[in-house]
Amino acid sequence: MDHYRVKPGSKVDLAKWDPDDKHFFDGSKKAGEKAIQKLNRELEALQELLYAEGKQKVLIVLQAMDTGGKDGTIRHVFEGVNPQGVKVATFKQPTPEELTHDYLWRVHPHTPGNGEMVIFNRSHYEDVLVVRVHELVPESVWRRRYEHINAFEKLLADEGTTILKFYLHIDLAEQKERLQARLDEPEKRWKFAKGDLAERKLWPQYMAAYAEMLEQTSTTYAPWYIIPANRKWYRNFVILQTIVDTLKGLQMNYPAAEAGLDEIVIA
């Protein structure tokens, strides 16, 4: 899936990335969903191995515009994984206590320990996205955060964390359909906020912020992937394939069993 990986130091023009792309799948949606089921089973087994081995750790970062599909990705991609070894951390508006500390203070306690996989639903990148677009701090402040974030992720990587970052790329028309669906379906209305419409008007500013974020913080040790996300099934397929391939590359092994187990017979 290197096709979707942002090469370190490269320029990013999100207008040139097709959110409807399905480059690696020529078949139908039905065939894609069948492939996803197979990948789900592989991920379930690999995550169990990660947990059992207890030596490595994985951090997955999800960023997207409103309705981009972060919650849906978590539900469908991580279906069946062992909840003992998988955690989800969500970063919303900072609390008063969090605002008294540096912006990474609230993030570090949620990073994975040995044997764990942690999914960030939004993340420390809000501090170069929302903060930038809404001018909550001067440019001189948010701009130096790219260097802070790269150093933070380098620390995590040096200490044994495998980091995968996914930007779920939808277009303005797809967001309109998804927002309208939230209004039209009573069971989804709880997800809709009038403030979403105000954020939608800032789409160009957000695209500029996301593009620079991807340029400045996609590294060899913490790469960004731009995921075509208009088609939910293809979004899930690409993310699953990327995670499965990465976990296979960790060359994990189950811990050795105690000696003498072959002689034991359960009465």
Q: pLDDT of 155-203, one tens digit each?
A: 999 999 999 999 999 999 999 999 999 999 888 898 888 888 999 999 9
* CA–CA gap between residue 202 and residue 11 (Å, rounded): 22
**Residue-level pLDDT at 254:** 92
Element (H, E) at 236: helix 232-248
Look at residue 85 and tell me if it is in a domain: yes
**Residue-level pLDDT at 206:** 97
Look at residue 160 and tell me if it is in a domain: yes
Look at residue 265 and tell me if it is in a domain: no
**CATH, residue 105:** 3.40.50.300
Structural domain that includes position 186? 2-250
pTM for this prediction: 0.94
- Percent helix, percent strand, percent coil in the chain, to nearest 5: 50, 10, 35
**Residue-level pLDDT at 143:** 97
Look at residue 262 and tell me if it is in a domain: no
Residue 52's Cβ-side half-sphere holds a number of Cα atoms within 13 Å equal to 13
Diameter of the chain measured on Cα atoms: 71
Residues of the chain with pLDDT under 70: 27
Element (H, E) at 39: helix 29-53
Look at residue 200 and tell me if it is in a domain: yes
**Structural domains of the chain, count:** 1
**Residue-level pLDDT at 193:** 86
Look at residue 11 and tell me if it is in a domain: yes
**Residue-level pLDDT at 173:** 97
Look at residue 260 and tell me if it is in a domain: no
Look at residue 108 and tell me if it is in a domain: yes
Residue type for position 182: R
* DSSP alpha helix (H) spans, 114-202: 130-133, 139-143, 145-158, 172-184, 195-200
* CA–CA gap between residue 119 and residue 44 (Å, rounded): 15
Nearest to 112 by CA among 149, 80, 159, 79: 159
